[in-house]
Amino acid sequence: MTQTHELRRTALAEVHPRHGAKMVDFGGWWMPLQYGPILDEVQIVRTRCGLFDLSHMGRVRITGPDRERYVDRIATNHVAAMKQGDVRYSLFCHENGGAIDDLLIYKYDDAVYLVINAGNTPRIWRTCAPT
């Protein structure tokens, strides 16, 4: 396992251990795996709230007049049907339709934003970057 000093850290990296998180290497990031017994965590999230540190996630900003049509070609949700400010959970696909990974799509007036899993960021970027 990689030493923690070699792992990338989120803005909340030092907060998690102070609250009892078991920290692990997650795609090159020092991330919390869990805070206690999983059933306790489920109960807390269902009755109170939960927090997921997204700062390790990959972010892609897509602009230009054809941005919605482009994202519709690589993801399973219909971006053109989304309203400004909407967020949709979707799948990122190969040209043949096979799923690569899940992602979140955010639609705004000036751009469409993709939030992708940290471990797949380089792979997805290579797939969706213009050639």
46-78 pLDDT, tens digit each: 999 987 777 888 888 999 999 999 999 888 989
Cα atoms in the Cβ-side hemisphere of radius 13 Å centred on 106: 11
What is the arithmetic mean of pLDDT over 101-123? 87
- What H or E segment, with its residue span, contains residue 39? helix 38-47
Sequence length of the chain is 131
Q: Please determine, for residue 5, whether its predicted confidence score (pLDDT) is greater than 60.
A: no
Among 121, 66, 64, smallest CA distance to 92 is for 121
Taking the C-alpha atoms of residue 126 and residue 31, their distance in angstroms, rounded to an integer, is 25
Domain made up of 58-128: CATH architecture: 2-Layer Sandwich (3.30)
pLDDT at 4: 46
Pairing of strands 29-34, 58-62: unpaired
- Both tokens assigned to 119: 């471990």
Name the pTM for this structure.
0.71
Mean pLDDT for all residues in the chain: 86
Task: Name the residue type at position 128.
Answer: C
Domain ranges of the chain: 4-47, 58-128
- Both tokens assigned to 93: 């696909």
Q: Please determine, for residue 130, whether its predicted confidence score (pLDDT) is greater than 70.
A: no
